[in-house]
Homo-oligomer: A and B are copies of this chain.
Amino acid sequence: MTLEGRFDEERGVVRVGSDARQRYHDSRGYGYPLEGNEIALAPIEAAHLLYRGDLEAVVDDATGERLTFREFVAREPGAKFGVRFLVYADLRSRGFYLSPAAEPWVSDPPTGEADFAVFPRGKGPGDGEVEYALRVIGERTDVPADELGDGVLAVVDEESEITYFEVSRRDPTGASVADASLPNDCEATLLADRVVVWKPPLSLYETTFYGQPLEGREYDEPTLQLSLLEAAYLAERDAIDLEPSTVRERGREVEGERFERRLAVYTELRERGVVPKTGYKFGADFRTYAEVESVENLGHSELLVRVHPDDYVFEPRDLALDVRLAHGVRKTMVFALVGETGGIDWWSLERLTP
C-alpha cells in the first residue's frame, strides 16, 4: 500500500500517518516522529519519497489538490530546492541517510551554512552521530570566504552533475632547515621585477632553497636569481645588500596590494619551516615543501597555495579548476586568506567521493 501525505503549512512540513513512522522514519531515516505513528517530512524528504514512488501524493487540504512528484517540484519555490533535491537523492542512492541541518530532525544541528546533516554510513538521525555538515550550492552561487567552514560543500553544475569538496582548516607545518644559516649582505642587483645575487654561498640555494641558479655559466661563481618575494624576505634578514623597503616598493609597483599579501604568506610559511616556491606553472601562488634538507634530495611538493584577501568571494568554477588541478598533480589545494592586519586563515579543499 502506498501512502499519501498532507501539507502542514504551519510547520512547513508534510505529515504522513498510518505506519509511516516504522516504514519511513525508523527503518529508512526520513523525517521526525510526531504523535502516534505519524511523522513530519521536510519538503525535500517528501519530494524524494514521491520521486521514489514510496509516497503516492501529497494532498493540499485547502484546495483539495493531490500533488505527484512533478506538481510538487513545480510548486516548491526557491532557487535552492532543485539543487538540494539532486544532492539529497544522490547521497540517498549512495546509501547515506541525511536530514535537514535543523531541529527537530537532528538534536544538535551543525552551525554555519549547512543544509544537511549527513550520518555515518549505516547510521541514521536517531543515532546521535553526524558524519559531516553538508552545504549545497549551484555552480553559479558565489561563496564569500567567511562562509567557509569545516564540512562538505556540494556543487551542482549546470547539467546537474555534483562535485563534493571536503573543506577543512589546514595550518601548514614543516621541518625545513632554519634561517640561522643565512649568509650576510650578499651583493645583489634589483632588476625590473627580479633580483640577481652575484656570488652567494652555495648553501643559499642548495640547503635553504632560495632562488634559482642562472644556468649555463659554469665558468663562473654561481649566480642566483631571486623572486621579489624571496628578495624582500632575505633583505629583511640582511642576507642580501638591498634595502627591504626598496624591494617591497618594487613589489607593490609591479603587483599592487597582492604583493604584501603574498609576502605575509611567504613569511609565515618560512617561519613554519615550510619552503614556498612559485606555483605559477600550476596557476597558484606557491607550491610548498615541508621538509627541505637539500635541493638535491628535494621531495614532492605537498601543497598548492593560493593567496586571497579574507573578504574574497570564491566562484565555484574557479574552485573546481584549482582543486582538480591540484588533485591531478598529487597536491592539496590550500587557500591562505589574509586579513587587514596580516592574520592568515588556512583552508584546504579536496575532492571527496562519498
Contacts and interface: CB of A to CB of B under 8 A. Distances in A.
Interface string A79-101: 11110000001100100000000
Interface in A168-196: 189, 191-194, 196
A281 interface: yes
Interface in A112-149: 138-140
B328 A138 contact: no
How many monomers of this chain does the complex have? 2
Contacts of A78: 192
Interface stretch (A32-40, A59-67, A158-166): A158-166
A51 B215 CA distance: 10
Contact of A158 (B82, B280, B329): B280
Contacts of A283: 317-318, 320-322, 324-325
A79 B325 CA distance: 31
A227 interface: yes
A70 interface: yes
Given A79-B192, A189-B74, A254-B140, A278 B163 contact: no
Given A163-B281, A281-B320, 17 more contacts: A81-B191, A81-B192, A82-B192, A89-B215, A138-B192, A139-B280, A140-B254, A140-B255, A158-B194, A158-B278, A159-B277, A161-B278, A161-B281, A282-B320, A283-B322, A324-B325, A325-B325
